Structure 1
Amino acid sequence: MQLTNVTKSFGPTIAVDDVSLSVAPGEILGLIGENGAGKTTLMRIIAGEIEPDRGTIDVGGTIGFVHQHFMLVNEFTIAENLALVGAGDARFENSNRLVRDLSVGEKAAVELMKAIAKEPDLLILDEPTSVLTPNEAQKLFDTARELASRGKSVILISHKIREVLSIAIARAMVGERTHVAPPLRRRTTPAESRLYVRNLSVGTGEIVAVIGVAGNGQAELATMLRDTLPRETTAHIPEDRTRDGVIAEMSIAENLALVTNASAEELIATFGIRATGPRQRAGNLSGGNQQKLVLGRELTRSPAIIIAAEPTRGLDIESTAFVHEQLRAAAARGAAILLITSDLDEAFTLADGIHVIFRGTLSERLTPAEAGTRAGQLMAGVR
């Protein structure tokens, strides 16, 4: 795959500026850069989803694309979503489940299956591990290496430097206006529990984390708390920002006005949201900047309770550190914070106490030190 002098603008905003890039057969290219630097736009140009203003593209084969934002039909089953891309023969456990019932991690697995089922010559992975556990991420990397060993090309977009260094044969950085190179679906009954919670408490000024493999009740826990806690004093940072966090058709200012009277311009500056201004459509922001918009809107209200589900998913290192600082500052002001995260490092770094969730049931509260030795077993269901 060869890109030469590719440029793309959206109105006055230059998203990709004179980028040249190449990936050889059998090569894994790691692509890093801060939020809004144009990484996803560049990949969408390669995939043919966006036409560049200038430059040439030579792909030389088929492309599989795992998008940062899921391209799934929620009202279809897993099998039906696979069939839409001609991958109806692909095997996926419990493929008669509806996509709307899947966790974010499970949706990511379906996206990967869609992308690789037809043996693409180039596989593009846009922030694929942001919702995966370490074991799931390792399986993904094994798949990427296996494809590369058969002469396929892989591009991995990530904010995790160690991740890129561990897998990529070549690396490139994109900066601001710079360039470098099937069983039936199981139906539940009122007697069955999807979530059983006891002994979960978060004190004033505390950060308590819930960790676990995707699909074990994290989404149900966040939804239950969102629907039962008082909205006036509770901030909710949802797991799926594009579905539950922002209204894409509305501007940044309008999204903020839904819950806060704070100045949009001040929030854009304070939270480092890369945008042309308050009137820009939220749907035109990069994934990381959409997350910053959600965080700014929710944290600026000085809530007493914060439910933060995957608050740094898709953010670069600098932005992640900023979010961590904001959560610590909120805790210092007395907020009780429940952090639901698949990033174990994040949990160990921020949390005063940690619970592991498995099949809808929380473990006893652990100290970060205890979780460091027991989390793996508890996540596998070994008590």
Structure 2
Amino acid sequence: MSEIPPDLRGRRDRDPFWVAVNAFFNGLQRVRSLRTPVIPYVRPVDRTLTLIVQEARRAATDVVALRLAAPDGGVLPAWQPGCHLDLLLPSGRRRQYSLCGDPADRRSYRIAVRRLPAGGGGSVEVHEELVEGRTVRVQGPRNAFPFLARESYLFLAGGIGITPILPMVQAADRLGAGWRLVYTGRSRDTLPFLDELPHDRVVVRTDDEHGVPDCAGLLEETASGAAVYCCGPAPMIDAVRAAFVPDGGSTLHYERFAPAPIVDGRPFQVELARSGVTVDVPADRSALDAIREAVPTVAYSCRQGFCGTCRAGVLAGDVDQRAPSDPAPGTMLPCVSRARGGRLTLDL
């Protein structure tokens, strides 16, 4: 008679040593699962809104003011003075425009755009395409120019630079703070929203009546500890920055509508891997400007390193990162950043 098998299926008993090893590792895995929290999948939030142009009116020479609202008249996301919207234009261009309405109005957003025929085409598209009844996609509001609570303010606005300043003036008035606004421009007909400002606290200085303003003179009456907010053309901001003295705790806050001039750049080359084109970047121009001459469709918006629209992958080369915020690894913002060496290769 043959030997009876260890079990009915003819299998041997498991080796006690391997049983113990298996139990040990199973227990270790359970302990690790308790210590390591399970991170649930987070679905990305799409903050794009589709709005309708409720009103389009002339606010000054070559300036159109648009009032945007939800198609169903619903409540819009809240915003604070200094916020802007990203407009996703029908052409695919992305442009940023300051909100210049009343933050208490949750049913509409107001922006104002000056037509710049020699610009990148965004302002012309806004003037010609965003007529009343047209829909447009936007993202935001976002704030890169925050308004701080202070006891006194000096506001300096140059032309279309009144757009972020106007809600700040209204907020300062509601706070009961002391404030003064100096509003500059080429002529009175080029100054939008002049009729919405209280004339007793606003000084209007136009080039045709008073000549080009002396920014040091504009700052002479700044109250001790005041917050100075400035928005306008790049030469105006540069002059204000050069003349500003932080006396008595006063602070300077500014927002540019154009990129700052490049004063310490060195020439380099950028190879565009997808198109196989190599472009030369002069010392006084941005990589973005040089790239756009070869690839006009490259996306961009603020040109100051804030929005990230022009972000490109870096395939080779050492980058001199000059963006105000930390870039994503292996990328650069060619609107402001440059090469440390003589050549970069980008995924464009």
| TM-score (norm. length: structure 2) | 0.30
Larger strand fraction of residues: 2
Bigger Rg, structure 1 or 2: 2
**Higher helix proportion:** 1
Question: TM (normalized to structure 1)?
Answer: 0.28
